[in-house]
Amino acid sequence: MTDSVDYVPRRGEAERGLTLVATGPIQKKPREPEVFFNRTELDAILSVYGRKVADGEWRDYAMGGFREVAVFSVFRRASEMPLYRIEKRPKLARKQGAYAVVAATGLILKRGHDLKQVLKVFDKRALRLVDA
């Protein structure tokens, strides 16, 4: 069985020399796989998240996997902007490190090759939230 296209030219197309060439089935460009956290990375992130929830500092989170980055966002309240974003960018693994902790303002608090080292930024007392 061959792939063929039945095409009836419109009026005037045949005179202008327009023809349809069938090259086979249309193939879609394969989608790039989405980046996401693996099980050990999620265990490390959720361990920090659990401690901060127990302290009453964090209350909600969201995760997302995209073409170039995986994001774990932390919220004080679900209706607000995220307080912190924990990002994984595999394209930066050989340069600055695949993991980063980004504050709500966009400031990169820590970046590195080892997720557990990057998550130590949350152990500092200076980052404690104080309600005024």
Q: Is residue 6 part of a domain?
A: no
Q: Is residue 110 part of a domain?
A: yes
Q: What is the pLDDT of residue 93?
A: 82
C-alpha distances (whole Å) from 100 to each of 19, 29, 45, 87, 107 are 54, 31, 12, 5, 10
58 DSSP β-pair partners? none
Is the predicted pLDDT of residue 26 greater than 70, yes or no? no
How many domains are there within the chain?
1
Winning range, highest mean pLDDT, from 43-47, 54-58, 95-99, 122-126: 43-47
Q: Is residue 49 part of a domain?
A: yes
Question: Contact 110/122 with Cβ under 8 angstroms?
Answer: no
Domain ranges, residue 77: 39-127
Q: Is residue 87 part of a domain?
A: yes
Q: Considering the entire predicted model, what is its pTM?
A: 0.69
